[in-house]
Amino acid sequence: MDTATSALAAKTLPLINACCLYLGVTLLSDLTNAEGTNIPDHYFLGHPSPYHRHKGLFPYQDKTSWRRLLKLFLLSTRNKRLKRPLGRWLKTGEDLHFGWKALADPVTDMVYIRFETKFEEYRMENTVITYNSTTVDETPRYSVPIDVDFTGEHLTRHDFIPRTVSPRHTFENIIADLPDWEVELLEQHVITEFSVWEMTAQWRDTEKVVGTSDGSVATLRGSYG
């Protein structure tokens, strides 16, 4: 929305919001393919996804304003490729913001296809996906979205390495995965006497470290609340 605010007329913004509600999307990653490189045709034309689940309402949408916004992110309207492809997924598994139809576990190479409230488990062999005769309630913790072709005789996936966040076992790993602006925010508002790297070094040399939280952290994965 920051891009829309700076590039489009103020009177257009309510129309853009209506489109977001209609499609059930909030983030740019909700609109792109799973690889984060292109915007699918149905989203560019203002149509809901035929595969992924959304939670949006259905107000009237001005599709002309919607396409004007999306063009700001694209190199070309012919192939709908983003000017700047998205990076790795910051959320994985059940923490994903959007209800993707297909996800893959980068650890086991298993694929999970959403079917109503459960997921069917598939084996991934090259680009062909084969049903594993197993149904699960939720996907593995580090599973990430993938693009699957549901139109052919066999399910196939696009050949790419999922944009995944690898498991982080130390606080240094967590800090290294943060964007620069978040590290600066941490140093400015939480740590005032030294850098975040000096802080982690002191922690390693200390026998006991006590941490506190005000209870607002939703998960125990290095969030700051």
Residue type for position 196: V
Residue type for position 64: T
* Mean pLDDT, rounded, for 73-90: 88
pLDDT of residue 70: 92
Does position 40 have pLDDT exceeding 80, yes or no?
Answer: yes
Specify the pTM: 0.52
Instruction: Tell me the pLDDT of the chain averaged across its residues.
Output: 77
* Mean pLDDT, rounded, for 11-29: 84
* Mean pLDDT, rounded, for 30-39: 90
Burial (CB count within 10 angstroms: exposed 0-12, middle 13-18, buried 19+), residue 162: buried
Digit-coded pLDDT (tens) for 91-135: 888 888 888 989 988 878 888 999 888 999 988 777 778 887 889
Digit-coded pLDDT (tens) for 148-200: 887 777 777 665 545 555 555 666 667 666 667 777 777 666 555 666 667 66
pLDDT of residue 194: 62
pLDDT of residue 225: 42
Does position 221 have pLDDT exceeding 50, yes or no?
Answer: no
Name the pLDDT band for 137 (thresholds 50, 70, 90). Answer: very high
pLDDT of residue 20: 84
Burial (CB count within 10 angstroms: exposed 0-12, middle 13-18, buried 19+), residue 199: middle
The three-class DSSP label of residue 61 is coil
